Amino acid sequence: MLNLKSLKIYGLEIKTSVKFQSFMGLTIILFIFRLTVYLPGSVVLVSISELLVLLTFTSLYAYLLELVKAKHVNPLSFVMNVGILNAVIFFLLTFSDWILSSLMTKTEGMAINHGLIANLLSFIYSYIILSSLAIVFLAFRELYYYRQKKNVSTYFNTMIVFFGLTCVANLFNNVIEPNYIKETFLLISILLIVINSIKISWIAFIVKKEKIALLVLSIIISILFFTNFASASDNFHNQVVIQFSPMLNQFLKIIMIYGAIYFSILFFTTLFHIPTAEVYDRKAQEVSFLQYFSKLITESHDFSELAETVTEITTKVCNAEAAWIAWKDGDEFKSMANKNIGYYDSNNMTKFIFGSRLNRDFSRSFIVNLKKHKNLPQLSEGYFHFAAAPIRTHNEIKGFIIAAKKDDFMFDDEDRDAMNTFSDYASVAIENSRLLEELIEKERLEKELDVAREIQRRILPSKNPDFENLKISSVFIPAFEVGGDYYDFFEIDETKLGFIIADVSGKGISAAFIMAEVKGIFESLSKTIERPKDILIKANEILQRTLDRKNFVSAAYGLIDLKKETVSISRAGHCPILLVRNNIVENLRPNGIGLGLNFGSQFVDSLEEIELKLRGNDIIVLYTDGITEAKNKELEDFGSIQFEQILINNSNKNADEISNKVIREVTLFSQSKPQHDDITLVILKWKQKLKNDGDTEWQNSAPQLKTQVT
Amino acid sequence: MAEFSTSTKDAGDINVIYLNGYLDAHTAPVLENTFSDLIDKRKYSIVVNFKNLAYISSAGLGVFMAFIEKIRENSGDIKLADMSDKVYNIFDLLGFPLLYEIFKSEEDAIKKFNEIK
């Protein structure tokens, strides 16, 4: 804001300004000059005085200009300042007779009174006028140049020249003849004022509310200027100012004329702008919203936030009472980001609009008036006018922005165009956020799977137990999405070895957690319970407390008694355990339901346990369906027949060689397909001790190869 | 990714779900929704036809476990029918025949439902 008070403060603060210093210096010189050597009759002295006044005015004007340039000032505040100063001048003019005459002796006449107080008072009074004029003139100048695109300084400068000429001509009023020279100058000045006043270009850029304020202000200010002009002669004020400087008096009159003309024209211009103000405001709003929107798209990737913004802006720009986004969810629409309408209503309305009843091309935006429609759904509030614009990505319509109005004013083409623009922006934003979400989701999934694989790696045994007459080999290959395979060995004592193979239903981190739990259960149960059947029964009981209904675990538990040379096996829903003996594969498949499928007597009743006497070169094979269900590119299974054949063909080899062979075959078979489930294979090969001699066949076999893959 | 879909048929009081394609951890939610919808409509007598099912994983088997309790509480049942040998073998290994009635054909399963009533 530019006003006297702030100027004073600036004046005190910015002491360094040369312009301000010269203004102060000139003021002092002028004051001393007036007080000492000045004589109103002398042409030379009057000319010097006028020159000093002109210089003072110019320096003040230049200083103020510097202040204004440093800041960006709203034209409306210039108008306000002009108004305030104009009011000040109005009061000075109105009350000058009363105030000044009470302090000075009027009858003596100012021309002959050289008293100090009278001089000081007239000086101060004239100075207030001079300062006000400087500010007002500055304001006019700024208003003139504001928002001017072309170089228009010629007109303004010419006008200033004629102002000067008018003032000078007035100074030599009595000397110069004929009189019409002065009047001609004044006439040209007025003409230039009119021309310059018409160039008001800044009105278009202010909003409607400001325009209305301006309308009122301009008429008041214009009247004030007229009044001031009319009352600026034949009174005490006039005498004081003329005595101080005839030029200033003339300039005051010119500025009053300028003000009166400028603000009259401003009033009418504003008046004519008012009807279009709304349209202009709306366009400006649209542009600023779009700017905001583009910013939002690049900064925010939260789809729901964007949706909220879209509907919010739609209601504002289209003057709609309600808006929502109907998002395609399969064959139906789902409402989101509702503004001023309930979800029940918006869902019903969407269904109605896009139902088969309205025969419309939905691939483009449209306006619809449903006021006379009979089957309109019953809404809690009566919306009748709707406008919709499709949101599409890759030529596929993802949803619609819908705006609704209650009253009789329909949506127009402008509204529809605006909504079209928003829907385009929304499409881009939606596509962006969707891509980002996918990326985040993918990364999250990969992180999660990393964790799952790490859990699995830690759960599985790091090395296989090793006995004199029992050699063990194990291979585990995790799938990308952890499959939940688990195997383990429990060395119960020197002559007893427990083993388990299990497959947890499901995949990923949830499967890995269940695996960890299963490991804990069998780890502890194997220490207290020996019989496989009893362990499985107990494990099922424990799992009942924690397992989700849709999760289950297939498992097989076995116990090898090295001293008695037997193996006992119980199976809870797992793949059969294979026994390779004499080139024949036997499927050991005692009855049993998977763990977690049934917690009643059915589980216990159905569970069987078998015991076998081990013979030399017996091979026990534990596996998960990752082997038999490994797929080739024709989506054929590796299958158990092929699996068994490989086992038979390699049965004379040691445990590691057999497992290597099987894995190689499975890998070859499914090389063109990504591995889709965990693969687990455990081979236990039994070597019967020779009765008499400690030297056994297997001791001469090749050193054990480490084939475990983790 | 392998595709999976379901369709349902209303055979009086009994509803038949037809499985189509590959039922695994990724496609299991499709079948879960199908079951949920039927239960929401208080349809508890369900026959599942496996004729066009190419593959079922453990997660797919889990879907049946998830709903059977609720259905049996409402004196309904899930009966399985028309499985290929391969699919039957997977069910059999896990001991499902002890927990579910599995029929050669859909008609047999429906007949069984009607016998009880």
Is A598 in Cβ contact with B99 (below 8 Å)? yes
Of chain B residues 66-105, which have a CB less than 8 A from chain A? 66, 69, 86, 93-96, 98-99
**Is B87 a member of any domain?**
yes
Q: What digits encode the pLDDT tens for the residues B60-92?
A: 899 999 899 899 999 999 999 999 998 999 999
> Helix or strand or coil: residue A14?
coil
Select from A319, A321, A320, A352 the least CA-distant residue to A335.
A352
For each successive 10 residues of chain A (710 residues), what is the average pLDDT?
46 62 87 77 80 88 84 81 86 76 54 63 85 88 79 84 85 66 86 85 80 89 87 75 83 89 90 82 80 76 78 84 86 85 86 72 81 75 85 83 84 84 80 81 87 87 90 91 90 93 89 91 93 95 89 95 94 95 94 92 94 93 92 88 95 93 93 86 86 45 38
For residues A687 and A615, is the Cβ–Cβ distance under 8 A?
A: no
Integer-rounded Cα Rg, in Å, for chain A is: 50
CA distance B25 to chain A (A): 6
Scan for tokens 């007109």, then name that residue.
A155
DSSP state for residue A704 in the 8-state scheme: P
Is B57 in Cβ contact with A597 (below 8 Å)? no
Distance CA A399, CA A427 (A): 9
CA distance A380 to chain B (A): 28
> Could you write out the DSSP letters of every residue in A492-537?
EETTEEEEEEEEESS-HHHHHHHHHHHHHHHHHHHHH--SHHHHHH
Residue B16 forms beta bridges with which residues?
A: B9, B47
Integer-rounded Cα Rg, in Å, for chain B is: 13
Determine the straight-line distance between the first and last CA of chain B, rounded to whole angstroms: 42
| B1–A contact, CB cutoff 8 A | no
CA distance A640 to chain B (A): 11
For residues A185 and A176, is the Cβ–Cβ distance under 8 A?
A: no
List of chain B residues whose C-beta atoms are within 8 Å of the C-beta of residue A484: 58
Domain residues for B102?
4-110
CA distance A547 to chain B (A): 11
* pLDDT value of position A152: 76
**Is B116 a member of any domain?**
no
Is B59 in Cβ contact with A505 (below 8 Å)? yes
Is A550 in Cβ contact with B62 (below 8 Å)? yes
Q: What digits encode the pLDDT tens for the residues B21-43?
A: 989 888 899 999 999 999 988 88
> Between A122 and B107, where is the model more confident?
B107
Scan for tokens 């003019």, then name that residue.
A93
* pLDDT value of position A552: 93
Q: Quick one: closest CA in A to B25, which residue?
A: A506
Is A552 in Cβ contact with B65 (below 8 Å)? yes
Query: Could you give the number of structural domains in chain B?
Result: 1
Is A554 in Cβ contact with B58 (below 8 Å)? yes
Select from B81, B65, B72, B74 the least CA-distant residue to B42.
B74
Which phi-psi region, left, alpha or beta, contains residue B42 (left: φ > 0; alpha: ψ -120 to 50)?
left
Q: What digits encode the pLDDT tens for the residues B42-52?
A: 889 999 999 99
Distance CA A387, CA A309 (A): 17
CA distance A555 to chain B (A): 9
Is B98 in Cβ contact with A598 (below 8 Å)? yes
DSSP state for residue A391 in the 8-state scheme: E
Distance CA A73, CA A139 (A): 10
CA distance A571 to chain B (A): 9
Token digits of residue A84: 């305030």
User: What would the 3-class secondary structure string for A291-317 be?
Assistant: HHHHHHHHHCCCHHHHHHHHHHHHHHH
Q: Which domains does chain A possess?
A: 4-282 (no CATH), 300-438 (3.30.450.40), 461-700 (3.60.40.10)
List of chain A residues whose C-beta atoms are within 8 Å of the C-beta of residue B98: 593, 598, 602, 606
Is B66 in Cβ contact with A552 (below 8 Å)? no
> What predicted TM-score, i.e. pTM, was given to this entire model?
0.54
CATH number at residue B81: 3.30.750.24
Is A506 in Cβ contact with B62 (below 8 Å)? yes
Residue A569 forms beta bridges with which residues?
A: A558, A610
Torsions phi, psi of A260, nearest 5? -60, -45
Task: Please give the angle made by the CA atoms of A660, A573 and A606, to the nearest 5 degrees.
Answer: 140
Is B95 in Cβ contact with A573 (below 8 Å)? yes
Token digits of residue B30: 């499709």
Distance CA A520, CA A97 (A): 107
For residues A489 and A518, is the Cβ–Cβ distance under 8 A?
A: no
Is B96 in Cβ contact with A552 (below 8 Å)? no
**Is B115 a member of any domain?**
no
Distance CA B108, CA B111 (A): 5
Token digits of residue A471: 């050699």
Chain A to chain B, count of Cβ pairs less than 8 Å apart? 63
